Structure 1
Amino acid sequence: MGTFLNTITSDIREFINNQHLFFVGTAPTEAGEVSVSPKGYDTLRIIGESKILYLDYYGSGNETAIHLNQNKKITFMWCSFEEEPLILRVYGRGKVLDKGTEGFTATLNEQFSGYDERIVRQIFEIDVLSVQTSCGWGVPFMNYDRDRSKLDDMSKKSFD
């Protein structure tokens, strides 16, 4: 049975910080497709009980930013692939911190120091509206091996 909360508790924060994979979902205001993307790397920060920051690399389409600029709606999802089953969703309203703005530069320096600004497309700032947990009994067991280096390598190479 699912449980809804209004904030990110310390237990939920610990669960999120231990995951190597999360999914981001957004949708356009009117016509168009829902976008769901898997994300990795160390690109997510939890700020207090009700804010998430997500650093976005260049890559394929930019639907997340387009959708957030339209309607601000965003959902994050994590799954436990380990012994204790859990699916966790965080629902929120987000905004895009565009590269070259004061908010982008300050957030990058404060929260993502060590990232080369040239390979970062933007940062998403999300205000958490609700958090939902559910059983996760149907999620398979899987083991984490390592991050793929391709996106990071490609991003850095394009600026050399």
Structure 2
Amino acid sequence: MGKLTEHLSPRQISFIEQQHLFFVATAAAEGTVNLSPKGMDSFRILNEKQVIWLNVTGSGNETAAHVQQNPRMTVMFCALRGAPDILRLYGQATAIHRADPAWQSYISLFPELPGTRQLFLLDIDQVQSSCGMSVPLFDYVGERDSLIAWAEKKGPAGVEAYWAQRNQISLDGFESHILEKSGTAAKFSSD
């Protein structure tokens, strides 16, 4: 039923390009496992062995904190309409922040989204496809605009203040380095 390969096939690339939702799982050596749903126009395939996704501000910053300790990441897509299919990408991830030299190489691949926080580059070790026959069918209605409206209302300085308050430390106490790596640490050095 399932199939394991070392790279994305043309059919799998086409499947990913049609999806509106994906899930990201990370974990440090100890502590919680983080599993986050992702949407918006935030995923790009660079080649059959490498993908990148844009991360916007959220209530936590677990993915960045985990990846800096342990680069393992799993990305999962599942068909919510059409033929059943589940696709998992297993690999080693790198968090790319605004102050990192690689930022400019990749950020132009994405639309400008208020609250953009990091990019995650995933070097694929394995690709697993499986049936997904138990996944229910859903209709895509559209993107939510809540997060964009929130970030626009806060403005860049307000979003960065939110990072200082809520995005520096993971649930398990690991640092995300969001302020230093985004180039905004000096603004909040008294916090």
Say yes or no: TM over 0.5.
yes
State the 1:2 CA deviation.
Answer: 0.7
What's 2:18 paired with? 18
What's 1:3 paired with? 3
Q: Percent identity?
A: 38
What's 2:112 paired with? 115
What's 1:71 paired with? 70
C-alpha deviations, 1:62-115, integer Å up to 9, x for none? 111111101100001111111300111110100111122221122112x12x41
Describe the SS at the equivalent of 1:159: helix
Q: What is the number of equivalent residue pairs in this alignment?
A: 156
**Which of the pair is proportionally richer in strand?**
1
Amino acid at match of 1:22: F
Following superposition, which runs of at least 4 residues in structure 1 exceed 3 angstroms of deviation?
A: none
- Which has the higher mean CA deviation after the structures are superposed, 150-159 or 39-48? 150-159
What's 2:82 paired with? 83
> Which has the greater radius of gyration?
2
Describe the SS at the equivalent of 1:158: helix
Distance 1:130 1:45 in 2: 17
- Which has the higher mean CA deviation after the structures are superposed, 34-43 or 118-127? 118-127
| Structure 1 portions without partners, runs of 5+ | none
Q: How does 1:42-61 map to 2 (within 5 A)?
A: 42-61=41-60
What's 1:99 paired with? 98
Describe the SS at the equivalent of 2:68: helix
Amino acid at match of 2:136: P
Q: How does 1:119-158 map to 2 (within 5 A)?
A: 119-158=115-154
Distance 1:120 1:48 in 2: 23
Distance 1:159 1:105 in 2: 21
State the 1:127 CA deviation.
Answer: 0.2
Distance 1:101 1:83 in 2: 40
Distance 1:55 1:83 in 2: 26
Distance 1:61 1:103 in 2: 24
| Structure 2 portions without partners, runs of 5+ | 157-191
Aligned Cα root-mean-square deviation (Å): 1.2
Distance 1:56 1:78 in 2: 16
Distance 1:156 1:95 in 2: 27
Distance 1:59 1:81 in 2: 24
Describe the SS at the equivalent of 1:130: strand
Distance 2:93 2:147 in 1: 24
State the 1:52 CA deviation.
Answer: 0.8
